[in-house]
């Protein structure tokens, strides 16, 4: 009689462990999201006025925040948990199944819209760490609320015998208020690590023309909104658009727009086309309106002036990081940063350039005989002289003590030779005044390499120019050694 083989699990042990871990993670995700949604939905339901929809509804914003911070939870197990928890909480607190299904669909539609939009943003924006982040927060939560509004259009006539437009307005406003109040807290909560996501590469900055027009369009939308959603809150509808303007436009432009929008509000109320629900003839209302409009105007103006200061500081820092403080010409990193794109355009042989290494002759002697300050003066004057021999498009940098580098784009070898010669002659002919009664003549040696697009990298050309410079020094200084790349024989010019 044959004995039965013992039962063998077809999966190898390692695979089985991985599957177990996956199941446990799914379960954990399911439980966490169920509990969170149930708790938050209860909070919303229990604080709502009897017979009405909740105005404070934290569940959507909290779940959206969680999914943005931990996108791996936006798994089917998470969506299923959220759906069941929304429906169950609603039914358990007295809603019928049809109502709770429609409401849940609205919640999920809004959360999913917000989630997929937010995931497109870079982490810096998701964590609200850039000036523009708040604008994206407002736009994306606004769109998520628009999606909820569409569900409200369906829900209002179906469940509450209301109008479609009324449903849209109610859902849109309720969602947006909740998102904007709660989401920043979750997105900036410390201690949570944001994962990197391949989705972020989908984010593309808008073309420049769009970017310029968008803040202004937001102001116009605010104006439109104040006509559609009239009432006391309309006094603030222009603020987001104005803040966006403050982040994007110059201080003066923001100031003009702020003035115009303040006038719009004041004249609109006086003229009767803007209904803030106030009695304009009543002194108290008029005074309050004036003060409100004035104080609201402070927000965009503050942001615009902070942005101006920030921009100026950034420009200063950028200049300091890329320029040599002694001579004012580019430093090594500034030179490389500006030279690399020009070098990149060489591919295909469509352009040409010359790279020059310039080294002041016997500079150590100047320092030794006349002091460091005299050496500094020579460096400053040499940078000025060399700069005067160059065109606007040429780059001049100081990359070492008394070593300079020049990049001349779009020139042939003869032009490169004559520019180098001009620098050599100009420096040799100049009287460097280093004290009241001391004038020096200072010569320079130059290594030049000319190429029309064959070098593999910038450093190849720099090395080659350096070799030519070495030859110029070895041949007696105060001269140019020139070569072209790919290799040919170096030409020495005295």
Report helix, strand or coil for 483: strand
- Interface with ligand GTP (CB under 6 A), residue total 17
Per the CB < 8 A criterion, the answer to whether 72 and 191 are in contact is no
Cβ contacts of 227 within 8 Å, gap of 6 or more: 273, 274
CB atoms within 10 A of CB 248: 21
Interface residue with ligand GTP among 337, 376, 410, 425 (CB under 6 A) is 376
Query: Is 367 near ligand GTP (CB under 6 A)?
Result: yes
Query: Is 362 near ligand GTP (CB under 6 A)?
Result: yes
Q: d(Cα 473, Cα 108) in Å, to the nearest integer?
A: 75
CB atoms within 10 A of CB 452: 16
Query: Is 359 near ligand GTP (CB under 6 A)?
Result: yes
H-helix or E-strand spanning residue 482: strand 480-485
At closest approach, how far in Å is the CB of 489 from ligand GTP?
Answer: 24
Q: Which is nearer to ligand GTP, 126 or 331 (CB)?
A: 331
Part in contact with ligand GTP (CB under 6 A); list of ranges 164-172, 244-252, 288-296, 367-375: 367-375
Per the CB < 8 A criterion, the answer to whether 36 and 62 are in contact is yes
Query: Is 402 near ligand GTP (CB under 6 A)?
Result: yes
Cβ contacts of 97 within 8 Å, gap of 6 or more: 87, 91
Part in contact with ligand GTP (CB under 6 A); list of ranges 163-171, 222-230, 357-365, 383-391: 357-365
At closest approach, how far in Å is the CB of 380 from ligand GTP?
Answer: 10
Query: Is 360 near ligand GTP (CB under 6 A)?
Result: yes
Part in contact with ligand GTP (CB under 6 A); list of ranges 96-104, 333-341, 371-379, 384-392: 371-379
Q: Which is nearer to ligand GTP, 277 or 401 (CB)?
A: 401
Q: d(Cα 87, Cα 89) in Å, to the nearest integer?
A: 6
CB atoms within 10 A of CB 97: 10
Report helix, strand or coil for 10: coil
Query: Is 364 near ligand GTP (CB under 6 A)?
Result: yes
Part in contact with ligand GTP (CB under 6 A); list of ranges 117-125, 149-157, 360-368, 457-465: 360-368
Contact letters (x/-) for ligand GTP, 268-307, by CB under 6 A?
----------------------------------------
Query: Is 106 near ligand GTP (CB under 6 A)?
Result: no
Q: Tokens 């030859």, residue?
A: 471
Cβ contacts of 306 within 8 Å, gap of 6 or more: none
Of 482, 376, 386, nearest in space to 428 by CA: 386
At closest approach, how far in Å is the CB of 475 from ligand GTP?
Answer: 12
Phi, psi dihedrals of residue 391, rounded to the nearest 5°:
-90, 170
Q: Which is nearer to ligand GTP, 85 or 374 (CB)?
A: 374
Part in contact with ligand GTP (CB under 6 A); list of ranges 27-35, 96-104, 331-339, 358-366: 358-366
Interface residue with ligand GTP among 16, 72, 290, 372 (CB under 6 A) is 372
Query: Is 16 near ligand GTP (CB under 6 A)?
Result: no
Interface residue with ligand GTP among 48, 370, 473, 491 (CB under 6 A) is 473
Q: Tokens 């063998």, residue?
A: 8
475: exposed, middle or buried (C-beta count within 10 Å: 0-12, 13-18, 19+)? middle
Query: Is 361 near ligand GTP (CB under 6 A)?
Result: yes
Q: Which is nearer to ligand GTP, 28 or 372 (CB)?
A: 372
At closest approach, how far in Å is the CB of 363 from ligand GTP?
Answer: 3
8-state DSSP, 398: E
Q: Which is nearer to ligand GTP, 179 or 363 (CB)?
A: 363
Query: Is 363 near ligand GTP (CB under 6 A)?
Result: yes
CB atoms within 10 A of CB 457: 10
DSSP assignment of 315-355, as one string? Answer: HHHHHHHHB-TTT-SB-HHHHHHHHHHHHHTTTTSS--EEE
Phi, psi dihedrals of residue 30, rounded to the nearest 5°:
-60, -50
Query: Is 375 near ligand GTP (CB under 6 A)?
Result: yes
Write out the residues near ligand GTP by the rule CB under 6 A.
326, 359-365, 367, 372, 375-376, 379, 401-402, 473, 477
């Amino acid at each position: 009689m044959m004995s039965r083989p013992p039962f063998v699990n077809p999966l190898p042990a390692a695979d089985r462990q991985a599957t177990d871990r996956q199941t446990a993670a799914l379960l954990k995700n399911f439980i966490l999201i169920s509990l969170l949604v149930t708790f938050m939905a209860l909070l919303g339901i229990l604080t709502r006025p009897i017979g009405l929809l909740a105005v404070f509804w934290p569940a959507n914003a909290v779940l959206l925040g969680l999914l943005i911070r931990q996108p791996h939870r936006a798994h089917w197990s998470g969506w299923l948990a959220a759906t069941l928890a929304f429906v169950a909480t609603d039914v358990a607190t007295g809603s019928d199944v049809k109502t709770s299904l429609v409401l849940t669909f609205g919640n999920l539609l809004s959360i999913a819209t917000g989630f997929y939009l937010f995931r497109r943003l870079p982490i810096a924006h998701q964590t609200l760490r850039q000036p523009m982040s708040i604008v994206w927060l407002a736009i994306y939560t606004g769109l998520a609320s628009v999606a909820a509004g569409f569900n409200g259009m369906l829900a209002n006539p179906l469940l509450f015998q209301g109008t479609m437009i009324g449903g849209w307005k109610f859902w849109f406003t309720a969602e947006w208020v909740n998102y904007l109040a709660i989401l920043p807290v979750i997105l900036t909560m410390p201690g949570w690590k944001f994962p990197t996501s391949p989705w972020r590469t989908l984010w593309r900055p808008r073309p420049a023309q769009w970017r310029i027009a968008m803040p202004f369009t937001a102001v116009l939308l605010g104006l439109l909104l104040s006509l559609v959603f009239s009432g006391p809150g309309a006094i603030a509808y222009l603020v987001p658009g104005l803040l966006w303007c403050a982040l994007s436009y110059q201080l003066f432009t923001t100031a003009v727009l702020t003035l115009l929008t303040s006038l719009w509000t004041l004249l609109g109320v006086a003229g009767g086309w803007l209904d803030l629900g106030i009695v304009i003839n009543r002194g108290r209302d008029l005074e309050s309106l004036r003060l409100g409009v004035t104080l609201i105007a402070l927000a965009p103006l503050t942001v615009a002036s902070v942005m101006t200061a920030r921009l100026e500081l950034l420009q200063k820092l950028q200049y300091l990081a890329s320029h040599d403080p002694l001579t004012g010409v580019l430093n090594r990193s500034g030179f490389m940063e500006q030279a690399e794109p020009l070098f990149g355009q060489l591919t295909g042989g469509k352009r040409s350039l010359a790279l020059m290494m310039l080294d002041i002759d016997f500079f150590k002697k100047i320092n030794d005989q006349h002091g460091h300050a005299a050496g500094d003066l020579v460096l400053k004057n040499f940078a000025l002289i060399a700069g005067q021999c160059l065109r606007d498009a040429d780059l001049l940098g100081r990359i070492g003590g008394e070593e300079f580098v020049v990049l001349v784009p779009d020139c042939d070898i003869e032009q490169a030779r004559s520019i180098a010669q001009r620098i050599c002659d100009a420096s040799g002919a100049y009287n460097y005044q280093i004290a009241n009664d001391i004038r020096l003549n200072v010569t320079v040696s130059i290594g030049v390499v000319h190429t029309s697009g064959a070098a593999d990298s910038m450093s190849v050309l720099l090395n080659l120019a350096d070799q030519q410079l070495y030859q110029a020094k070895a041949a007696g200084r105060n001269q140019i050694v020139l070569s072209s790349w790919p290799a040919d024989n170096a030409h020495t010019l005295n």
